[in-house]
Amino acid sequence: MQSLWNDRDAASCHNDSLALRAYTSRLLGQEPSLVLHGGGNTSVKASLKDLFGESVPVLLVKGSGWDLATITEAGFAPVRLDVLQRMAELPTLTDTDMVKAQRAAMLDPGAPTPSVEAILHAIIPFAWVDHTHADAVVTVTNTPDGERRAREIYGDRVLIVPYVMPGFILAREVYEMTRQTDWRSIDGLVLLNHGVFTFGDDARSSYEKMITLVGKAEEYLSANARKKGDAKPRAVKPGAMAQLAWLRKAVSAARGSAMVARLDQGGEALEFASLPAVADLASRGPLTPDHVIRTKPRGMFVGPDATVSVQEYRARYEEYFARHRTPGLSQLDPAPRWAVLPGAGTATFGATAAEADIAADIIRHTRRAIQAAEALGGWKPLGEAELFEVEYWELEQAKLKKSGGRPAFQGKIAVVTGAASGIGKAVAEALHSAGASVLGLDINPAIETLFTKPGLAGQACDVTDQAAVAGAVEKAVGCFGGLDLLVSNAGLFTPSAFLADLDEATWQNSLDLNLSSHRYLLQAATPYLKLGIEPAVLIIGSKNVPAPGPGAGAYSIAKAGLTQLARVAALELAGDGIRVNVMHPHAVFDTGAWTPEVLEQRARSYGVSVEEYKAKNLLKAEVTSADVAALALAMLGAPFAKTTGAQVPIDGGNDRVI
C-alpha cells in the first residue's frame, strides 16, 4: 500500500479544508482494496457561518450514497459538531432517530444525509478522520484469533474495538471505551470484522496513517498467509453458457423478477471454484457486514441441477429469516446474489448489469480474502445473527420502502441487430432506457465504441456469417447471463432493378442479409430464448411485404420470405412460450439511407417539399426511428404479451397496405 499524496494536487486546494477533504477522500476511494462501491467515510471539522453570520463548529462528513472514488465538495454534509458530540452521551438511540437528529442539526438542509458514522467521527478529537473497510485488515480479523493477530501487527498503537452494529451503537461503544484514552498515543482504531479509522491534525497525516496501518496488515498477510496450493484450476468445462442461462432463470424465479448474471471465468475465479472446500467457504459469510446488502449472507454452490440448488438456497434463506425475524419485518427476496459454478468460475446476480457488476467486484475481493484467511488459520467472518442485523437494518428497510417501481424491462436481456444506426440503434437505446441489458450487433466496427453505458454494449458481427452470429449470441449470454428478447433488424435496401434485369449478386446479397441471416440468428438464439424470462422475438419487416413495388423484387421477395419465416417460427416456438411478431415500418427518414440529397430528390419527383414528402401518408404524420422503437417496446412487452404471429405496420397509414 503506497501513499498517493501529491504536493501539487494538494496545493491546488489552496488550503481549503473541504477541497482537501474531497481530495484525500478520492485518494482512498481510488484504491479498491480500501473501499468498494460507497464503503468507508471521511470527515473534517471546521467552522462555518450560519444565517446570522456567526461562526459554528461543524463536522463536514461524507454524505450517504456518495462514493469516495468520485466524491466532490458537494458530497459532504455540514452537521453541528456540538449536537453530534452530545448525541454520543445518550444511553440509547434508534438509528432512525439518529438520522433525523443529524439532519435537523445540518447547516444546509439541501446537503446529503450525513453518514451513519457521523457521531463516531465527531467524538474523535482530531480535525481529520478517515474510515475504510480495508481488505487486508478485515481479512486478518476474519480469522479465529483475529484480535490476537491484530495486536501482533499493531501493538499498542491502535485501539481494538470488538464488532458491534455500525451507527449509533458503534459510536456509543467507542465513546465508552475511550473515556480515559490518550488519543495521541494511538494511530487508529481497528474495528474487528469491519474496518479501520485513522485521524490527524492535517489531511496528509490522517490519510498516510491509513496507508501505513493497512500496509502493515498487507505485509503480515504476505509473510504469514501463503496459499497452500490445494486448488487446481481446470479448463472451463463445455456448456458453461447453457448452465449459466439455466442458473439465471432459476435465480430470477426465486426473486420473482428478471435478473442479470455476470460470469467470471478468470484464473482467480476458476482457482477459487476448484478449492476442495469451496461449497463450505462460500457459505460462511461476506468480507465485511456492509456487503450483505449486495451479496446476501452467503453464496450458493451450484450442483448438477441449478434449479434444485436455487430451491435449496431459497429454503435455507427462509429458515435464516425465520430464526432471526422480529415483529414488523418483511422478508426480502430469497434469491442468491453470487454463486460458485464448479469448473466454470463464479457468477453474480443483480436487477441490472450495474448491480451484478458491483456484486462481482465485491466477490472478487472476497475470494482473495477467503483464501488468505484460510492460509492464515481459517476463514471466520461474522455470524449470521450479526449479518441479519445489517441486512434487515431499519435504515435499509426505510430505503426499500422509498424505492420506486421497476422499469418495464429491468433485468431483461436483449440482442438487437443492425444496432449501429437508425431503427436498430433507436430500439437498442430504448430497451436499455427501459431497464434491459442489451448487446447490439452490426457489421460496422464503430458499434464496439458506440455505446458507453453499463448494460449497453456493441459487438461487430457480420450476420450473414452463421458462425459469427452463434458466437455473438453466446457473447450476449456470457455478458448478461441469458437471452429474453431478440430484435432481428439487420437489413439492406437493394438497388432498384426489374426482375428481368436483376443481377445475381444483388439477388443473392438480399437473400443473404434480408432472409438467411435472420434464420441464423433465430437458430442460435432459440436454445437460450427457451430459458428466457417472458421471451419474445421481433422481426423488422417492411411495407413492401403487403405492398410491393416494381423494381424492388430482390428486397421485397426476401422480406416476404422473412415474414413467412417469422410466421413459421411463431407456430414452432409458441409451445416454449416464445412470442414471434413482425413489424412493417415504412418511410422512416431519420436513418442512414435517407440522406438530405436523397430526400430532396424524392420530394422533387413528387412535386412537394421535403417536409410534405416526409408526411406523405394518410395521417400526414412523420414516422421516426423513435416511433418505431416505441412500438417495438410495446410488441416486446406487456401490451403484446398475448400476441404472437402478428404483423403490425408503422407507416402513418398507407392506402396500398390498408
- 555 is an active site residue: yes
- Nearest partner of 560 among 541, 575, 581, 579, judged by Cα: 541
Instruction: Quote the strand ranges of 302-369, DSSP E.
Output: 338-341, 345-350
Cβ neighbours for 377, distance < 8 A, ≥ 6 positions apart: 143, 144, 145
- Nearest partner of 379 among 480, 306, 278, 308, judged by Cα: 278
Pairing type for strands 536-540 and 579-585 reads parallel
Taking the C-alpha atoms of residue 10 and residue 31, their distance in angstroms, rounded to an integer, is 18
Strands of the sheet containing 437-442, edge to edge, are 456-460, 437-442, 413-417, 485-488, 536-540, 579-585, 647-650
- Nearest partner of 54 among 80, 76, 21, judged by Cα: 80
DSSP letters of 268-295?
HHHHHHT-TTHHHHHTS--SSGGGHHHH
Among all chains, which residue has been given the C-alpha cell 498515543?
185
Cβ neighbours for 399, distance < 8 A, ≥ 6 positions apart: none
Q: Which of 313, 555, 606, 613 is catalytic?
A: 555
- Nearest partner of 436 among 402, 469, 404, 483, judged by Cα: 483
Cβ neighbours for 374, distance < 8 A, ≥ 6 positions apart: 228, 281
551-590 residues labelled b (16+ CB within 10 A) or e (exposed): bbbbbbbbbbbbbebbbebbeebeeeebbbbbbbbbbbbb
- 3-state SS string for 565-606: HHHHHHHHHHHHCCEEEEEEECCECCCCCCCHHHHHHHHHHH
552, three cell numbers: 424492388
Instruction: Check: CB of residue 555 under 8 Å from CB of residue 510.
Output: yes
Half-sphere exposure of 453 (CA within 13 A, CB side): 15
Instruction: Check: CB of residue 398 under 8 Å from CB of residue 113.
Output: no
Among all chains, which residue has been given the C-alpha cell 464448479?
342
CB atoms within 10 A of CB 307: 14
Instruction: Check: CB of residue 475 under 8 Å from CB of residue 458.
Output: no
Among all chains, which residue has been given the C-alpha cell 426473486?
255
Catalytic positions, written as ranges:
555
